[in-house]
Amino acid sequence: MRWPIASSAWRPTDFRIAFFTNSGSESVDTALKVALAYHRAKGEGHRTRLVGREKGYHGVNFGGMSVGGIVPNRKVFSANLIPGVDHMRHTLDIGRNAFSRGLPAHGAELADDLERIAALHDGSNIAAVIVEPVAGSAGIIPPPVGYLEKLREICDRHGILLIFDEVITAFGRVGKATGAERFGVTPDLITTAKGLTNGVIPMGSVLVRDHVYDAFMQGPDQMIELFHGYTYSGHPVAAAAGLATMDVYDEEGTFEQSATLEDTFADILHSFDDHEKVIDVRNFGMMGAIEMAPREGAPGARGLEVHKKCFWDEQLVVRNGMDVLQFSPFLNSNVDEMQQSFEAIRRVIDSVD
Ligand SMILES: Cc1ncc(COP(=O)(O)O)c(C=O)c1O
């Protein structure tokens, strides 16, 4: 299906084609299948291996779980994860990068893990590598300076497709239409969901670069190129919600608004840098995390207590992943309200053991 390029809020050049899904998880599994099928269509069916990253979150379907690196999601299904998957190390390095404002300075060399995996299996056997440009669910982990560029270079060297899972980062979360645009690194496929309809109706998409699409379009017209799809792919109600959402993003300048708020958001977050219970503060765009020290012998307890107290005492929903408090404010947040919310969060952090 051709993406409605009429919208100026969302016009990634070179990604004219979208495959619609109903969730981020479906987008990820679709992207992995497209990558495998692409190589086969090009006569490189031996490229079957996939590479993910520790701490990556790519949804809960079998492909996404297999390339993902969140242990509790994988643990129960360990024996059934798909074969032929390697993981690069994650880039969270509190030792060297604690309290970085924006992209951390250290860790670009971790992209060389992909080079090592390519050396181990031979790069010609690898179909794709998938990463979140900014890891979300594992606790907001922005990429080290130069890391994504390095991944792109290594992929190019070995003919590996680069997939950015932008289920969180697309649609203004990092001040541009995509993380790809914000970082100036162009992947071959982009997965989206959430912001595509502002979350009001389930819908996701896989955006493919023209060269990927073209590789499928070599057969006779009457034949289906890729036997994959969902009953509700491109559901008209979801499509209407998506188009309406794009109009709002356009009319209200949502992405630009998000970009204007990110410095204030960073200031507010980093005012927690010297809090005695806090061991790291991380941020990029309108994504941020405050990581608290775990309680002796009870990792996660402090985070859960903050979450509950924020809800019951301050009427605030604060997501915690263990002891990491994770934030993604509205892209059109009001600064006063944002400040008040974080004053409430400070009261709560102060009040817990
Ligand atoms: C990066 C990323 N990929 C995939 C998913 C899965 O999306 P869904 O929950 O819509 O299946 C998520 C959900 O948070 C996500 O953050």
Residue 97 lies in a domain: yes
Torsion angle of the four alpha carbons 128, 132, 135, 136, in this order, in degrees rounded to the nearest 10? -130
C-beta of 166 in contact with ligand 1 (< 6 A)? no
Q: Is 59 in the pocket of ligand 1 (CB under 6 A)?
A: yes
Q: Are residues 125 and 246 in the same domain?
A: yes
Does the CB atom of residue 272 touch ligand 1 within 6 A?
A: no
107 lines ligand 1 (CB under 6 A): no
Pocket perturbation via mutation, ligand 1, pick of 168, 173, 191, 200 by most ligand atoms within 8 A of CB: 168
- Residues 62 and 187 placed together within one structural domain of the fold: yes
**Residue pLDDT, tens place only, 117-155:** 999 999 999 999 999 999 999 999 999 999 999 999 999
165 lines ligand 1 (CB under 6 A): yes
CB of 25 within 6 A of ligand 1: the answer is: yes
Whether 144 and 228 share a structural domain: yes
Same-domain check for residues 74 and 192? yes
Q: Judge if the beta carbon of residue 131 lies within 6 A of ligand 1.
A: no
The CA 298 to ligand 1 mean position distance, Å, reads: 28
Tell me, yes or no, whether 328 lies in a domain: yes
Asked if 85 and 208 sit in the same domain, the reply is: yes
CA 113 vs. chain centroid, Å, equals 20
Helix axes 301-314, 335-351, angle to 10 degrees: 130
Paired with 211 in beta bridges are: none
For the chain, counts of helices (H) and of strands (E)? 12, 11
What CATH number does the domain containing 133 carry?
3.40.640.10
Q: Which residue, of 252, 276, 302, is where some domain finishes?
A: 252
Burial code (b: 16+ CB inside 10 Å, e: under 16) for 105-128 equals eebbebbbbbbebbeeeebebbbb
Are residues 212 and 318 located together in one domain of the fold? no
At residue 10, the pLDDT reads 57
With respect to residue 267, please indicate whether it lies within any of the assigned structural domains. yes
Number of domains in the chain: 2
Domain end among 235, 252, 269: 252
For ligand 1, say whether the CB of 176 is within 6 Å of any of its atoms: no
Would residue 10 count as lying in a domain? no
Distance CA 34, CA 138 (A): 26
How far away, in angstroms, is 61 Cα from ligand 1 center?
Answer: 10
Ligand 1 centroid to Cα of residue 43, in Å, is 31
260 and 332, same domain (yes or no): yes
**What CATH number does residue 301 fall under?**
3.90.1150.10
pLDDT at residue number 9:
55
Domain that holds residue 308: 254-351
On whether both 137 and 220 belong to a single domain, the answer is: yes
Of 161, 137, 135, 139, which Cα lies nearest the Cα of 147?
A: 135
Whole-number pLDDT of residue 15:
87
Q: Are residues 338 and 248 in the same domain?
A: no
219 alpha carbon – ligand 1 mean position (Å): 33
pLDDT at 137: 97
pLDDT single digits (tens) 261-280:
999 999 999 999 999 999 99
Same domain flag for 142 and 42: yes
Are 113 and 262 within one domain?
A: no
* Nearest alpha-carbon partner for 67 in 143, 146, 129: 129
Q: Starting at the edge strand that comes first in sequence, how are the strands of the sheet with 161-165 ordered?
A: 17-21, 204-208, 189-192, 161-165, 126-131, 49-53, 85-88
pLDDT under 70: residue ranges of the chain: 1-12
Looking at residue 5, its pLDDT comes to 40
| C-beta separation of 161 from 202 below 8 A | no
Same domain assignment for residues 200 and 78? yes
8 contact partners, CB below 8 Å, separation of at least 6: 250
